[in-house]
Amino acid sequence: VPELRAQIARDLARRNIAVDPQDILVTTGSQQGLDLATRLLVDPGERFLVEQATYAGAINLLSAAGAQIVPVPTDEVGPDLDALDAIGKGGAKGFYLMPSCQNPTGATLPRERREALLRWSERSRVPLIEDDYGADLDLEGNGEPIALRALSGDVLHLGSYSKRLVPALRVGYLVAPRTLVPRLVGLKHAMDLGTSALLQHVLAEFLDRGYLVAHLEHSLPEYRRRRDAVAEVLQHHLPQGVRWSWPHRGLLFWLELPPEVAAEDIHEESRKRGVLVTPGTLNSAGATVRQGVRITFCAEPVERLEEGVRRLCAATAAVMSRRSHSLSSQPSYLSGA
The least CB distance from residue 328 to ligand PLP, in Å, is 40
Binding of residue 103 to ligand PLP (CB under 6 A): yes
- Pick between residue 26 and residue 229 the one whose CB is nearest to ligand PLP: 26
The least CB distance from residue 312 to ligand PLP, in Å, is 20
- Pick between residue 103 and residue 270 the one whose CB is nearest to ligand PLP: 103
User: Looking at 48, 95, 133, 254, which residue binds ligand PLP (CB under 6 A)?
Assistant: 133
The 3-state secondary structure of the chain, one letter per residue: CHHHHHHHHHHHHHCCCCCCHHHEEEECHHHHHHHHHHHHHCCCCCEEEEECECCHHHHHHHHHCCCEEEEECECCCCECHHHHHHHHCCCCCCEEECCCCCCCCCCCCCHHHHHHHHHHHHHHCCCEEEECCCCCCECCCCCCCCCHHHHCCCCEEEEECCCCCCHHHCCEEEECCHHHHHHHHHHHHHHHCCCCHHHHHHHHHHHHCCHHHHHHHHHHHHHHHHHHHHHHHHHHHCCCCCEECCCCECCEEEEECCCCCCHHHHHHHHHHCCCCCEEHHHHECCCCCCCEEEEECCCCCHHHHHHHHHHHHHHHHHHHHHHHHHHHCCCHHHHCC
- Pick between residue 58 and residue 313 the one whose CB is nearest to ligand PLP: 58
β partners of residue 130: 97, 157
User: Looking at 113, 151, 162, 323, which residue binds ligand PLP (CB under 6 A)?
Assistant: 162
User: Looking at 2, 167, 221, 301, which residue binds ligand PLP (CB under 6 A)?
Assistant: 167
Binding of residue 98 to ligand PLP (CB under 6 A): yes
User: Looking at 78, 88, 127, 172, which residue binds ligand PLP (CB under 6 A)?
Assistant: 172
Binding track over 177-216 against ligand PLP, x by CB under 6 A: ----------------------------------------
- Pick between residue 162 and residue 196 the one whose CB is nearest to ligand PLP: 162
The least CB distance from residue 26 to ligand PLP, in Å, is 12
User: Looking at 105, 124, 152, 160, which residue binds ligand PLP (CB under 6 A)?
Assistant: 160
Binding of residue 108 to ligand PLP (CB under 6 A): no
Binding track over 12-31 against ligand PLP, x by CB under 6 A: -----------------xxx
Binding track over 56-75 against ligand PLP, x by CB under 6 A: -x------------------
Closest by CA position to 182, among listed 25, 5, 42: 25
* Site residues for ligand PLP per CB under 6 A: 29-31, 55, 57, 98, 103, 131, 133, 160, 162, 167, 172
